[in-house]
Chain A
Amino acid sequence: MKRWTLYIPFVVFVLLGLLLWRGLYLDPKHVPSALVDKPFPTFALPTLVEGETKTEASLKGGPVHLVNVWGTWCISCKVEHPFLVELSQQGVAIMGVNYKDENDAARKWLNDLGDPYVFSVDDEQGTLSMDLGVTGAPETFVVDSQGVIRHRHQGPITRANWGSIKQIMDQLAQETAQ
């Protein structure tokens, strides 16, 4: 037997080790969204506050939007909320999707804690959220001015992770400007 063939098991071991070592640091909870680079799903839902019907058309033509899925039953949303208010004061356009919530509780929430949303649609049956592939609130989508979903963020937006989302939004705003 040739001498170099003795090294084959060692090389295989090293490769397998590298593969598993990398696997240790992957996040098993990270599920890639099936909707990135797809148009925002069609919907016709009443807004939470005024009750007028909005469709996906209201996301088109304007600035780059954030679409934030929230509910009063969701604790992480409460953590996220003050930061969203801050963002809206900085001029970030946020559309809310009130996910399987009670309308009164949701209106009270916006009254008491501030309303960061351009408008919130009332997704009482969770149909829009299902079309968005939402697995739990809060979840946020970056939607460009063509109404196409460009990024999905699971979990609350915080000061710590806002940087990467802002970068994506800025880039998209530049694309639109060109």
Chain B
Amino acid sequence: MKNLICFLFLFGVLAPAQAIVNGHEYPFEDQERAEVFRVLANELRCPKCQNQNLADSNAMIADDLRRELYQQVQAGKQSEEIVDFMVDRYGEFVLYRPRVNAMTYFLWYGPAAFCVIAAIAFGLVMRQRRKQSTQQDKSQAQANEQATYVSSSASSHTDETSAASADFSAEEQARLDALLNGDASSQPTDKGK
């Protein structure tokens, strides 16, 4: 029995509800209220300090606001009511999670919009590349035919290289062909295309 009580206590079933914020204990009647307090103390920004929330700050105003927050949570106020209370006095500055409105559309939807723009741009570029490379394949094939025509050597290599040509730029392809053909006479013909 004693063990059971110990167990329940350890796992917070019987433990008195409280929130420990900034080293202070804030006792509550139930865990739910304690949780509301904890969440709000972490989500509301201290109006005096630049980058701290109410829970972290030691500023006088943060202390006052924590007390106010505690009283309001104790009184059973809803999170929205408490947030409105803070915003009415200290402005939207205190919200670490800004509201969605005309001023914050860019903030909320900007990243998604940028991703969409990037995806569209990527798609367009890829399409253009593919178009270019098929054109290149054609011209490359023509060039190779000419090269074969001029010097009838190494015709088996050119077939292989044109199949892989999508991976190379025109200039690289020309150099590769020159090397594979092992024949200086094909170089000017390829470069010219």
Interface of A toward B, CB cutoff 8 Å: 1, 28-29, 31-35, 100, 126, 130-136
Contacts and interface: CB of A to CB of B under 8 A. Distances in A.
A135 B91 contact: no
B89 A31 contact: no
Chain A at the B interface: SS class? loop
Contacts of B87: 34
Closest 4 CB pairs of A and B: A34-B91, A133-B89, A135-B48, A135-B47
Interface residues of B, number: 17
Most chain B Cβ neighbours within 10 Å, of A31, A100, A134: A31
B60 A31 contact: no
Interface of B: 47-48, 50, 59-61, 64-65, 68, 87-93, 128
B60 to A, nearest CB: 7
Contact of A133 (B59, B90, B128): B90
A135 B60 CA distance: 9
B6 to A, nearest CB: 43
Contacts of A35: 89
Contact of B91 (A1, A33, A100, A130): A33
A132 B88 CA distance: 9
A133 B48 contact: no
